[in-house]
Amino acid sequence: MSRTDPIILLQGVHKWFGRLHVLRGIDLEVWPGEVVVICGPSGSGKSTLIRCINRLERHDRGRIVVDGIELTDDLRHVDAVRREVGMVFQQFNLFPHLTVLQNITLAPVLVRKWPREQAERVARELLERVGIPEKADSYPSQLSGGQQQRVAIARALAMQPKIMLFDEPTSALDPEMIQEVLDVMRDLARRGMTMVVVTHEMGFAREVADRIVFMDEGAIVEVAPPDTFFTRPRHERTRAFLSKILR
């Protein structure tokens, strides 16, 4: 793979839920180190789109290639992609029966076959990085929403992924906790992580994104760098969306 190959490639991707056509021919390339923010009204297919990138949803038509591996029904390809792609969910999805440290070390020990000491050392470093080293032995239910989401980010990072997917990571948080999560994501972007972020946080998008993708009704309407996107959107639907969300 040459330096100029995209790390994520989507070509003509279609997806149906029953008769509902939720993705209508998506073409998108994401380059290594790039931060791409996907926004759009609810039901526009943006969550489905990023869930296709690590095959939590199966696309029905088109091609998806991640880090040189094409996503097909071949489970080895799916597993290989999932090892390189971290995901952070709106509802955190921490494992409630495990401590914070166990949440983070589970996958490195089971999947990467790291010795426990190595996994725990890395986990503690990551907890330091997301600002809650003292919570290692707590259970998720003892943490605030913002802390839980920071643990979820640390858990995904422990697998040392090449790509991080964020599916509305701050939408379930109380307003005062949104910044602490965005700070962690900002730091991640600065360190050069490739990120695809579905979010309504337009401040974050303007500041961190390299490109913003606007989706509506299962299709990509517009792709632009933040400056252009916010000041000179080309499409009427983008302008309508922005006028609602930037009130």
Partner 1 sequence: MRWTVVVANLPYLLEGLQGTVLLGLLVMALGTVLGFAVGLARLGRGVVYAAATAFVELFRDTPLIMQIFFIFFGLPAVGIRLNAFVAASVAMTFFAAANTAEIVRGAIQSLPRGQWEAARSLGLSSAQTLRWVILPQALRRTLPPLMGLFTTLLKDTSLAAIVNVFELTTAGRRVVERTLASFEIWLVVAALYFLLCYPLSVATQRLERRLVAEVP
Instruction: Identify which of residues 104 and 205 has a Cβ nearer to partner 1 in the complex.
Output: 104
Cβ 91 to partner 1, closest distance in Å? 5
Residue 17 CB contacts under 8 Å (≥ 6 apart), including other chains: none
Amino acid at site 247:
R
123 φ/ψ angles, rounded to the nearest 5 degrees = -60, -45
Instruction: Identify which of residues 45 and 108 has a Cβ nearer to partner 1 in the complex.
Output: 108
Instruction: Identify which of residues 113 and 191 has a Cβ nearer to partner 1 in the complex.
Output: 113
Place of tokens 């100029």: 4
In the complex, the residues that contact partner 1 under the rule CB under 8 A are 54, 56, 79, 82-83, 85-87, 89, 91, 93-97, 106-107, 110-111, 139-141, 152, 155-156, 159
From CA 113, how far away is CA 105, in angstroms rounded? 10
From CA 215, how far away is CA 225, in angstroms rounded? 15
Instruction: Identify which of residues 21 and 83 has a Cβ nearer to partner 1 in the complex.
Output: 83
> Do the Cβ atoms of 63 and 12 come closer than 8 Å?
yes
Cβ 139 to partner 1, closest distance in Å? 7
Helix (H) or strand (E) holding 122: helix 116-129
Cβ 39 to partner 1, closest distance in Å? 22
Cβ 226 to partner 1, closest distance in Å? 28
Cβ 191 to partner 1, closest distance in Å? 20
From CA 120, how far away is CA 213, in angstroms rounded? 37
Instruction: Identify which of residues 17 and 95 has a Cβ nearer to partner 1 in the complex.
Output: 95
Place of tokens 């401040």: 203
